[in-house]
């Protein structure tokens, strides 16, 4: 009987991606099959995130819960990976001796060896080094079971924003070689993938080594990815404003496969706060890029990350953020209250904003952006939208569900044979969290 692996993932899409690669790897090397039930697992793994607070606490309380599993089954292997593992290292074994393996975001490919050593020598293993690109060389080809896939093209971050732990936990920026990225995408397309999302902490800072010593920049890479047979939609996240180029603006116009969506985190609309965050741009520079994109693209949906209540943020600073939001008219946001991260420069700045005030600001910001999003959804009623059909709708399984270019969920009636294909639908109704649509009669014939 095959051994079972349970993975609990905290955090961003990069972590989701890493978790699926770990499952692939342990399937190939040790025959592990994924399970949703930790109680029946032979190995349980936590893939952690430490971007915001309580990360450590969450990890240790989860490990406490898993201690009882280990008491029932002393052969159970417990592994901890990701950014908290990278930060805490050996400390994890001291506080949670039931843990067998600790590995960082850049050493997940060494898991099979660590597992063998741990079983053979009955001794815990810790490896949180940053061997960079070696990780990708050692991972098996990606396996997928749907029409969409993520592809990590660059890792780490060298920007050192004053509030962020990522450069310390995931290491400095490095890009995967162009040939490796393309091989992975061609293999995904051969397995039926129709949409890829290129991933990286600053994905548009990609500078992929070429076999002849040259460098492939991000905007050029997009043309190659979009030209792969079978890949009909390309997304990317997260971009950094200081890595945007005119070439990227042009790529959005020239590449039909590129989704009409831009995630460009601004964090704040106040130049004083941006400077203290060490973001490397002013609000005017950010807006100049937004203007360029909007100038060539009428239906571009724009989203951003925001940090509310950064130390020293005044009412006036916050108003500048709200003004910027009104100008851009964002469609979506990932907005969070500032969380001091030990070891980062911002954690040393005195935090004078009361929590109640931060919560009020966050709510005002989210309400404003939700208002824009509702308007966009209403404006989509009566329009034709291209969807990649993901599967059956969660709440009414007799219906199909798919996503538009601007990431809205649309539910509609149609045959199961359309799953994994693109269809054109007319949007008939905008609901708070999704849209309803109707298939165009010719759509089934033309779905590709
Ligand atoms: N590289 C991207 C960019 O352009 O900044 C962001 C990557 S970062 C891992 C994801 C998001 O987490 C950031 O955009 C920021 O909004 C949020 N974040 C990072 N550190 C944070 C902190 N200490 N408190 C609150 N949010 C934080
Ligand atoms: Fe973090 Fe800033 Fe890099 S938010 S991931 S240090 S760009």
pLDDT digits (tens, 9 = 90+) for 226-279: 999 999 999 999 999 999 999 999 999 999 999 999 999 999 999 999 999 999
- Whole-number Å distance, alpha carbon 213 to ligand 2 midpoint, is 28
Mutation to probe ligand 1, out of 153, 307, 347, 361 (largest number of atoms < 8 A from CB): 307
Q: What is the mean pLDDT of residues 280-298?
A: 94
Q: Check whether 199 has a pLDDT greater than 90.
A: yes
**CB of 9 shorter than 6 A to ligand 1:** no
Closest atom, ligand 2, to C-alpha of 157: 3
Nearest protein Cα to ligand 1, atom 12: 51
* Residue-level pLDDT at 37: 94
Two tokens, residue 371:
């208002």
pTM score: 0.91
* Residue-level pLDDT at 444: 64
| Bridge partner residues of 209 (DSSP) | 215
- Whole-number Å distance, alpha carbon 400 to ligand 2 midpoint, is 37
* Strand pairing report for 384-392 and 422-430: antiparallel
Mean pLDDT of the chain: 91
- Whole-number Å distance, alpha carbon 166 to ligand 2 midpoint, is 6
State how far the Cα of 282 lies from the Cα of 274, in Å rounded to an integer. 7
**CB of 336 shorter than 6 A to ligand 2:** no
Closest atom, ligand 1, to C-alpha of 339: 24
Closest atom, ligand 2, to C-alpha of 51: 1
- Whole-number Å distance, alpha carbon 267 to ligand 2 midpoint, is 11
- State whether the Cα torsion 291-293-297-301 is positive or negative: negative
* Strand pairing report for 400-403 and 384-392: antiparallel
**CB of 303 shorter than 6 A to ligand 1:** no
- Whole-number Å distance, alpha carbon 156 to ligand 1 midpoint, is 13
* Nearest residue to 172 via CA among 160, 182, 161: 160
pLDDT > 90: percent of the chain: 73
Closest atom, ligand 2, to C-alpha of 305: 4
Two tokens, residue 96:
């949670």
pLDDT > 70: percent of the chain: 97
Confidence class for position 125, pLDDT limits 50, 70, 90: confident
* Nearest residue to 427 via CA among 444, 445, 408, 414: 408
* Residue-level pLDDT at 14: 85
Q: What is the pLDDT of residues 366-384, one digit of tens each?
A: 999 999 999 999 999 999 9
Confidence class for position 53, pLDDT limits 50, 70, 90: confident
State how far the Cα of 184 lies from the Cα of 192, in Å rounded to an integer. 13
**CB of 201 shorter than 6 A to ligand 2:** yes
* Residue-level pLDDT at 110: 87
Q: What is the mean pLDDT of residues 103-115?
A: 87
């Amino acid at each position: 009987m095959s051994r079972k692996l349970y993975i609990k993932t905290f955090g961003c899409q990069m972590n989701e991606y890493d978790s699926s690669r770990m499952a692939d790897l342990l399937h190939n090397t040790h025959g592990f099959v994924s399970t949703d039930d930790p109680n029946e697992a032979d190995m349980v793994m936590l893939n952690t995130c430490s971007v915001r607070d309580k990360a450590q606490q969450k990890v240790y309380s989860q490990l406490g819960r898993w201690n009882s599993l280990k008491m029932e089954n002393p052969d159970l292997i417990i592994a901890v990976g990701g950014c908290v593992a990278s930060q805490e290292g050996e400390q994890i074994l001291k506080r949670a001796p039931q843990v067998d393996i600790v590995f960082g975001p850049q050493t997940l490919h060494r898991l099979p060896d660590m597992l063998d050593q741990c079983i053979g020598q009955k001794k815990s293993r810790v490896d949180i080094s940053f061997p960079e690109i070696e990780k990708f060389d050692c991972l098996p080809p990606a396996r997928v079971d749907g029409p969409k896939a993520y592809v990590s093209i660059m890792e780490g971050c060298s920007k050192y924003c004053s509030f962020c732990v990522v450069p310390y936990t995931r290491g400095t920026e490095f890009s995967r070689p162009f040939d490796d990225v393309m091989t992975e995408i061609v293999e995904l397309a051969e397995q039926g993938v129709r949409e890829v999302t290129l991933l990286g902490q600053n994905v548009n800072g990609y500078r992929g080594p070429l076999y002849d010593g040259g460098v492939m920049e991000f905007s050029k890479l997009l043309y190659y990815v979009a030209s792969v047979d079978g890949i009909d939609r390309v997304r990317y996240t997260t971009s950094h404003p200081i890595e945007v180029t005119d070439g990227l603006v042009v790529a959005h116009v020239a590449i039909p496969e590129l989704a009409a969506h831009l995630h460009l985190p601004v964090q704040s609309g106040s130049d004083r706060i941006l400077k203290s965050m060490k973001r490397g741009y002013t609000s005017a520079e950010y807006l100049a890029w937004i203007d360029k994109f909007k100038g060539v693209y009428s239906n571009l949906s724009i989203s951003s990350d925001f940090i509310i209540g950064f130390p020293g943020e005044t009412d006036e600073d916050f108003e500048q953020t709200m003004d910027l939001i009104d100008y851009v008219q964002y469609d979506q946001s990932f907005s969070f209250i500032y969380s001091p991260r030990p070891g980062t420069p911002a954690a040393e700045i005195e935090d004078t904003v009361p929590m109640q005030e931060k919560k009020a600001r966050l709510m005002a910001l989210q309400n404003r952006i939700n208002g824009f999003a509702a308007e966009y959804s209403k404006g989509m009623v009566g329009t034709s939208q291209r969807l990649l059909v993901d599967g059956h709708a969660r709440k009414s399984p007799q219906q199909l569900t798919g996503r538009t270019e601007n990431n809205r969920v649309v539910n509609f009636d149609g045959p199961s044979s359309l799953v994994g294909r693109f269809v054109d639908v007319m949007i008939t109704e905008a609901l708070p969290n999704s849209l309803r649509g109707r298939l165009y009669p010719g759509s089934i014939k033309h779905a590709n």
